[in-house]
Chains A and B, each alone.
Chain A
C-alpha cells in the first residue's frame, strides 16, 4: 500500500531525503563568489578584516562568510583566521515591538482620553495589564474608584516621555553602549533586551596568500580517468563530519528482523517449522490436549478471548478426545488424573489461541499417528492472544517462540544442553535453571540468564518435558520423551533495541521513524562501544 503526495508518483514528491544534510561530502567547500570577494578585500585591507563586518557590508548571511573562511582555510596557508567572540545587545521579539510601537505604559497612557476610561475597559487592551501598573508607578495616570460606573482611569500629566522606547531604539541602532549599565539591566529584566555572543573570525593574509586560488575538483570523473588528468589536478578534501545523504529505501520491522534471526537459529539447529497459520483454535487443542484442566484459571473469560461466532469447534478427533477425557476425569497412563467431570461442550469452545503450544500439540498428534515413530525437532514463532490488562510490557497479542524435540530417552540434561546451545546462538552464555510449575510439563524449569546491565538474573524462557498425560493419549510410544521450551519474541527484541514500552514496538501507533532507523539484527554480536572517527 502507498500513501502519496497529490500528483506525485512514487519516488518523486518531497521525499525529504537530505533535509538534515546541509552539505554532502565533497560539496562542503563554498569557494564561490563570497570567497573571491573576501580575498580581494583582504588584499586591499590593512592587517585584516572581521567576518561579521564583511557580511554586513556584503548584505549576506554571516554563515556564508564563515563558510568561505573555512573553505579557504582548508586550502592551506592562503589565509589565517582567528576565532573571536564578541558580545552584543539585541532586542527580543517583544523589544522589537516596543521599539516600533512604544512601551506598554505609553500605549496605555495614549489610550486614556481626557474624559477618562473605565478601568475594566482599559484592562481589556492588549497592553492593559502590564502597561497599567507601569503607568501608575510612573504617575502618568490615576484611578478614581468612586466613579459611578466603577473605577475609572484619568491622565495625571498632559504628556510624557517614552524612555523605554527611546532606549530600545538606541540599541536597535547599534548604540547600546550609550545606555547606562543600570538601564540595560532593567530592560533585560523586562525581557526586552538580550545579550548575545557572536563568534566571528578575524581574517588576515596567510603565508601563501594569493587572490587567485586554483579551482579544486569535487569529484573524480570518467574523463579524468581516461585522460589521466587526475594526476595533475588538486582535489577538495572530503568533509567527513557531514551526515551524508540516506538513500531512499524500504525497511523491515525490527521485531520481524529478530523473528528472522530466531528462525535462522532453529534452522541451523535442524528444527523443522510447524504450521501455525490458524489464530483460531478450539479449547480442546489449546487446553484439554495439554492436560490443562477445565477449571484452570487460564480458561477464564478474563484471560482468554473466546469466540461468539463461530462459537464452537465441530470437528474434533473423537477417539482421541475420549482418551483425553478419561485421562482428565479418571486418570490412566500411570496418572491419578484430576478427578472431575470433564465436559465436551467446554472443549468445543473456540478461542484465539493463547499459546503456540496448541500448534505443537497438533503437530505431536500428527507425529503420533505416523508409524513407526521417527524422532523430530520442531519449532514455531507466531502470534498468540491474551485477554489481559494492558500495560507497558503486555499487549493483547504477542509472539511466542517455541522449540520441541521428541525422541527416545530424552532427559532433563538434554533439555538443558539444547537450551545452552540455543541461547549461546543468541549471545547468552550464562544460564541457570529454576524449578517451576507448568500445567503441561513435568519436570519444568524456568531459564534465567545473568543480565550484565541490570546486574541480576532475569528470566529468559520457560521449559520442560511434556507430561505423559499429554503425550500418551496422543498415541506416542511410552519411552519417547518430548522436551520443549518457549519464550516471547517481544522481550528479547525490546532489550536488543532498547525499547521500554511495547506500544512503541508493535501496533499501528509505532513511529515509522523507529522502523526506518532500526539497525541490523545480529543476536550473537553485541555492538561494540561507539567509536567516533575524526576526519583525516
Chain B
C-alpha cells in the first residue's frame, strides 16, 4: 500500500479547516485511508541516522497516509484534498478538459526502432502553470509514487516532465545504440554517453534499480527535440537542458512504456492533479503522438465514461434500502457524478479520468457503500443452510494428533521449506533420489526445496533443544512434497523395518544411522517412524 507524506498544515489549509489528529484519523478510516504515522523530517532523520544528523532539519508536522493501491488519484496532496472535499460535499468534483493549443500542437513522433524496447508513448502540455516550492515538490513526489506503483518501478511506464520553453518541437522518440547517445543528464555538469551513464548510475542508490530494464538491450530509448536536444533517456534519466524549475510556466510531459493502457492512465493522473495550478484551471493542452504505422493520436485521453447501474442492484449488494436519488448523491460524493434517469431506478454514473480503478459495476457499488458508511450498514445473517463436513485428511490428522500426545509425544511445528542438505546429504540420500520440488528463487539456503520428509525438521528441533531433559519424544503430522515416491533416510543396519498396512507400504521405522544423527549435530541414539496416513482415509 503506497504511503503519501503531506505537510499537515498545508493539508488543513487546503481543506479549509483544521482537525485534531483523532478527527483526521477518523475521517481517513471512513474514506478508506489510514493515517499511518504523524512525524516530521527531523524525527525521520533522527530515527534513521541519529539525533546529531537531525539537527537543523525541519520539524514541520507530516502526516503519512496509506492510500489503497488502486487509487492513483490520491497519491498527492492535491488529489487527497480534492477527494476529501468532494466526499465532505465542500466542493464539486472538477471537470477536466483537454483543449487544443492556440498555435501549433506539440508533436511526439515514435520511430519504429522503439518497437523492441519501449513501444508506447503519450504526451500532454500543462500551459501557464504556476509552481511554488510546495507544489513543485508535490509534482516530483507524485511522479515518484506513480513510478513505484502503477509504473512497476518504471518497467511498465516512465514519466518525463520538461520545461517546454527550453525546447522546440516536434519531438522524436527513437532508440539508438548506447554509444551513439550523448547528453548532459539531470544534475550533472557535463555530457556523457549512455554507456558511461549506465556505469555511473550503477552506484546511484536511486537509479541503479532501473538500469536492468534496458541494460542488456542493443538499443536504448531516447527522446530528442527538433534541435537534437535530449529530453530524456527513458526509463533512466531526463536531460538537464529541459529541467523544470520553480519558474517553469509550460510543462511538456511524456510517458513512455511497454503498457499502453497504464501509460495513458499515468498521464491522465498527472495532468488532472496539476492542471489545478494552470491559468485555466483543470484544462490540459493536447499533444499529438504519431506511431510508426503513421497513425496519430491525441493525448491526454481524459475520457469520461458513462455507466448505468440499477439502484436496486446497489441496494442488494450492499444490504441497504436507499432511494435512487440518495444513491446518486452518495456516488457523487465519491467523485462519480451520478443522476437518476429512465424509469427512476436507473442511475447514470460518470466515471472521470481520475478513476481508472472503476472497471465494473461492483466498483461503483463499493463507492456507494463507502459514502453510505460501512459502519452504518445493518449487519444481518445470511439464511444459507448448509451441513458442515470436515476434510477427511484433516479429520484423521486431528484424531491422530491427540492420540500421539496422549501416548507421550510432543507436537513439533517445523518449516515446509528447507535446504537440499537437510533432505539429502544429512540423511544419507542422494538429492536426485529424493524427488524433491526445487525453488527457483530462494533468498537463502533454508528455502531451496520443499521437504520430502518430516524427519529433518524434527531432528533440527531436537538439536535446538539439547538442553531439555531426555527422553525427547516428538511428532508432527503435516504435508510433505514429492514429485513421486522417494527414498527415505538411512537407518542403522538391521534395525529398521518397512511398515505395511492394508497390503501396501506406508513408511519405515527404525533406529537412525549414526551418520545421520551426527550430521544433525546430535549425540544420542534416535529412532523414528514416518508413515503416510493417506491410505487410511
Contact check, B363 vs A442: say whether CB atoms are below 8 A apart.
yes
Q: Which one, B32, B319, B473, B522, contacts A435 given CB within 8 A?
A: B32
- Is B410 an interface position by the 8 A CB rule? yes
- Is A212 an interface position by the 8 A CB rule? no
Given contacts A280-B450, A297-B152, A508-B457, contact A305 B385 (CB under 8 A): no
Q: Which one, B316, B394, B411, contacts A515 given CB within 8 A?
A: B411
The minimal Cβ–Cβ distance linking A342 to chain B, given in whole angstroms, is: 12
Contact check, A507 vs B413: say whether CB atoms are below 8 A apart.
yes
Report how far A385 CA is from B381 CA in the complex, Å: 33
- Is A432 an interface position by the 8 A CB rule? yes
Contact partners of B411 in chain A: CB under 8 A: 250-253, 256, 515
Interface size on A, residues (CB 8 A): 105
Query: Digit string of B455-473 for contact with A (CB within 8 Å is 1, else 0)?
Result: 1011111111100111111
Contact check, A6 vs B525: say whether CB atoms are below 8 A apart.
yes
Contact check, A1 vs B455: say whether CB atoms are below 8 A apart.
yes
Contact partners of A333 in chain B: CB under 8 A: 360
Contact partners of B70 in chain A: CB under 8 A: 437
Within 8 A of B (CB), among A82-135: none
Given contacts A411-B319, A436-B68, A508-B414, contact A465 B362 (CB under 8 A): yes
Contact check, A437 vs B318: say whether CB atoms are below 8 A apart.
no
- Is B409 an interface position by the 8 A CB rule? yes
Within 8 A of A (CB), among B380-395: 380-382, 384-391, 393-394
Contact check, B360 vs A435: say whether CB atoms are below 8 A apart.
no
Contact check, B483 vs A10: say whether CB atoms are below 8 A apart.
no
Which of A68-76, A196-204, A264-272 forms contacts with chain B?
Answer: A264-272
Report how far A443 CA is from B401 CA in the complex, Å: 39
Q: Which 3 pairs across A and B sit closest by C-beta, in order of nearness?
A: A413-B319, A435-B32, A411-B319
Contact check, B366 vs A444: say whether CB atoms are below 8 A apart.
yes
Given contacts A273-B389, A309-B437, A509-B464, contact A442 B362 (CB under 8 A): yes
Contact partners of A387 in chain B: CB under 8 A: 441-443, 447
Contact partners of B527 in chain A: CB under 8 A: 1-2, 4
Of all chain A residues, the one with the shortest Cβ separation from B466 is A3
Given contacts A1-B455, A297-B152, contact A6 B524 (CB under 8 A): yes
Contact check, A437 vs B472: say whether CB atoms are below 8 A apart.
no
Report how far A391 CA is from B377 CA in the complex, Å: 38
- Is B529 an interface position by the 8 A CB rule? yes
- Is B156 an interface position by the 8 A CB rule? yes
Report how far A253 CA is from B527 CA in the complex, Å: 21
Which of A214-222, A230-238, A317-325, A416-424 forms contacts with chain B?
Answer: A416-424
Of all chain B residues, the one with the shortest Cβ separation from A16 is B469
The minimal Cβ–Cβ distance linking B523 to chain A, given in whole angstroms, is: 9
Contact check, A434 vs B481: say whether CB atoms are below 8 A apart.
no
Of all chain A residues, the one with the shortest Cβ separation from B389 is A272
- Is B317 an interface position by the 8 A CB rule? yes
Contact check, A311 vs B440: say whether CB atoms are below 8 A apart.
yes
Report how far A204 CA is from B521 CA in the complex, Å: 60
> Which residue, B360, B401, B458, B475, has most C-beta atoms of chain A within 10 A?
B360
Interface CB pairs A-B, < 8 A, 8: A275-B393, A410-B384, A434-B34, A443-B362, A443-B365, A443-B370, A507-B414, A512-B472
- Is B71 an interface position by the 8 A CB rule? yes
- Is A47 an interface position by the 8 A CB rule? no
The minimal Cβ–Cβ distance linking A207 to chain B, given in whole angstroms, is: 48
Given contacts A295-B156, A413-B380, A417-B382, contact A1 B528 (CB under 8 A): yes
Contact partners of B384 in chain A: CB under 8 A: 375-377, 405, 407, 410
- Is A481 an interface position by the 8 A CB rule? yes
| Inter-chain pairs besides A307-B439, A411-B318, 19 sampled, C-beta below 8 Å | A1-B530, A3-B462, A4-B524, A4-B525, A8-B471, A10-B408, A251-B405, A252-B401, A256-B413, A270-B385, A279-B450, A340-B262, A375-B384, A387-B442, A434-B32, A508-B414, A509-B460, A512-B465, A515-B410
- Is A468 an interface position by the 8 A CB rule? yes
Contact check, B374 vs A435: say whether CB atoms are below 8 A apart.
yes
Of all chain B residues, the one with the shortest Cβ separation from A341 is B259
Of all chain B residues, the one with the shortest Cβ separation from A419 is B379
- Is A467 an interface position by the 8 A CB rule? yes
Contact check, B398 vs A279: say whether CB atoms are below 8 A apart.
no
B interface with A by C-beta (< 8 Å): 1, 29, 31-32, 34, 68-71, 152, 156, 259-262, 316-320, 359-363, 365-366, 369-370, 374-375, 377-382, 384-391, 393-394, 398, 401-402, 404-417, 437-443, 446-447, 450, 455, 457-465, 468-475, 479, 481, 483, 522, 524-530
- Is A161 an interface position by the 8 A CB rule? no
Contact check, A310 vs B460: say whether CB atoms are below 8 A apart.
no
**A-B interface pairs (CB < 8 A), number:** 313
- Is A393 an interface position by the 8 A CB rule? no
Q: Which one, B32, B361, B416, B446, contacts A279 given CB within 8 A?
A: B416
Given contacts A260-B398, A435-B366, contact A396 B417 (CB under 8 A): yes
Contact check, B412 vs A250: say whether CB atoms are below 8 A apart.
no
Report how far A16 CA is from B465 CA in the complex, Å: 15
A interface with B by C-beta (< 8 Å): 1-6, 8, 10-11, 13-16, 19, 248-253, 255-256, 260, 263, 266-267, 269-277, 279-280, 295, 297, 301, 305-311, 331, 333-340, 352, 375-377, 383, 385, 387, 395-397, 405, 407, 409-414, 416-418, 420-421, 432-437, 442-445, 465, 467-469, 481, 483, 506-513, 515-516
Contact check, A277 vs B469: say whether CB atoms are below 8 A apart.
no
Contact partners of A418 in chain B: CB under 8 A: 381-382
Contact check, B405 vs A250: say whether CB atoms are below 8 A apart.
yes
Report how far A460 CA is from B414 CA in the complex, Å: 25
The minimal Cβ–Cβ distance linking A423 to chain B, given in whole angstroms, is: 11
Contact check, B447 vs A417: say whether CB atoms are below 8 A apart.
no
Contact partners of B414 in chain A: CB under 8 A: 507-508
Given contacts A295-B156, A435-B370, contact A263 B394 (CB under 8 A): yes
Contact check, A3 vs B522: say whether CB atoms are below 8 A apart.
yes
Contact check, B412 vs A508: say whether CB atoms are below 8 A apart.
yes
Report how far A416 CA is from B374 CA in the complex, Å: 9
Contact check, B381 vs A377: say whether CB atoms are below 8 A apart.
no
Of all chain A residues, the one with the shortest Cβ separation from B351 is A336
Contact check, B386 vs A409: say whether CB atoms are below 8 A apart.
no
Contact check, B458 vs A512: say whether CB atoms are below 8 A apart.
no
Report how far A274 CA is from B388 CA in the complex, Å: 11
Report how far A433 CA is from B29 CA in the complex, Å: 9
Report how far A307 CA is from B31 CA in the complex, Å: 40
Contact partners of B470 in chain A: CB under 8 A: 3-5, 8, 13-15
Contact check, A266 vs B388: say whether CB atoms are below 8 A apart.
yes
Of all chain B residues, the one with the shortest Cβ separation from A268 is B388
Report how far A417 CA is from B274 CA in the complex, Å: 43
The minimal Cβ–Cβ distance linking A507 to chain B, given in whole angstroms, is: 6
Q: Which one, B366, B405, B413, B469, contacts A15 given CB within 8 A?
A: B469
Report how far A19 CA is from B259 CA in the complex, Å: 69
Given contacts A270-B387, A338-B261, contact A467 B526 (CB under 8 A): no
Contact partners of A516 in chain B: CB under 8 A: 410
Report how far A436 CA is from B370 CA in the complex, Å: 10
Contact check, A277 vs B393: say whether CB atoms are below 8 A apart.
yes
Contact check, A508 vs B464: say whether CB atoms are below 8 A apart.
yes
Report how far A467 CA is from B357 CA in the complex, Å: 13
Contact check, B524 vs A414: say whether CB atoms are below 8 A apart.
no
Report how far A5 CA is from B388 CA in the complex, Å: 46
Q: Which one, A3, A279, A306, contacts B472 given CB within 8 A?
A: A3
Contact check, A411 vs B317: say whether CB atoms are below 8 A apart.
yes
Report how far A311 CA is from B70 CA in the complex, Å: 31
Of all chain A residues, the one with the shortest Cβ separation from B403 is A250
Contact partners of A309 in chain B: CB under 8 A: 437-438, 483
Of all chain B residues, the one with the shortest Cβ separation from A413 is B319
The minimal Cβ–Cβ distance linking A73 to chain B, given in whole angstroms, is: 35
Given contacts A295-B152, A420-B379, contact A273 B408 (CB under 8 A): no
Contact partners of A512 in chain B: CB under 8 A: 410, 461, 465, 468, 472, 474
Q: Which one, B375, B442, B524, contacts A432 given CB within 8 A?
A: B375
Contact partners of A506 in chain B: CB under 8 A: 413, 415
The minimal Cβ–Cβ distance linking A434 to chain B, given in whole angstroms, is: 5
Report how far A272 CA is from B386 CA in the complex, Å: 8
Q: Which one, A277, A412, A435, contacts B31 given CB within 8 A?
A: A435
